[in-house]
């Protein structure tokens, strides 16, 4: 029995084998044999995953920048480390998917309320202490040198 006599792998049985098979079908231009419904679902899932990565890292950056701004005397190396690490993640993500750069501001605005809830929980400050909408620019979010200080950076 040769490879062409073998049944096509199923997505749910062995994902990697299924994906390798789909790749080979594309390379061989055997489009009619593609598992289109599962392939489309996986592609959509991949796009969503990349957007969630961006949102999650922006949420962490915003949370810690708020904490640095509103509790500067409690600023810790772990807050700064987290800001740097998540900016690096965003930078790496944008290197692989530059089109996501166009979504930074909108995504940050959407994530602000989640980041605000985290900042309130972490600081013990009242929600009313913080701005009602995102107080940071895209440049501030992405600038590796920007971290609010007692003097206002």
With 0.85 as the threshold, say if the pTM is over it: no
Which three-class secondary structure state does DSSP give residue 147? coil
CB-facing half-sphere around the CA of 85: CA atoms within 13 A: 10
DSSP 39-108: HHHHHHHHHHHHHHHHHHHHHHHHHHHHHHHH-GGG--HHHHHHHHHHHHHHHHHHHH-GGGGGGHHHHH
Domain range annotation of the chain: 13-142
Q: Return d(Cα 52, Cα 65) in angstroms, integer.
A: 20
Tens place of pLDDT per residue across the chain (153 aa): 455 566 777 777 888 888 899 999 999 999 999 999 999 999 999 999 999 999 999 999 999 999 999 998 888 899 999 999 999 999 999 999 999 999 999 999 999 999 999 999 999 999 999 999 999 999 999 999 999 875 444
């Amino acid at each position: 029995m040769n490879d062409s006599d073998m049944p096509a792998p199923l997505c749910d049985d062995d994902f990697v084998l299924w994906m390798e098979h789909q790749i080979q079908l594309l390379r061989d231009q055997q489009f009619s044999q593609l598992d289109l419904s599962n392939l489309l679902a996986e592609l959509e899932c991949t796009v969503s995953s990349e957007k969630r990565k961006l949102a999650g890292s922006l949420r962490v950056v915003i949370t810690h920048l708020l904490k640095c701004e509103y509790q500067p005397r409690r600023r810790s190396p772990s807050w700064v480390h987290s800001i740097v690490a998540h900016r690096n993640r965003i930078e790496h993500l944008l290197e692989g998917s530059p089109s996501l750069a166009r979504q930074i501001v909108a995504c940050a605005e959407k994530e602000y309320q989640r980041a605000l809830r985290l900042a309130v929980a972490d600081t013990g400050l009242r929600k009313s202490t913080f701005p009602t909408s995102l107080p940071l620019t895209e440049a501030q979010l992405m600038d590796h040198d920007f971290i609010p200080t007692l003097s206002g950076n």
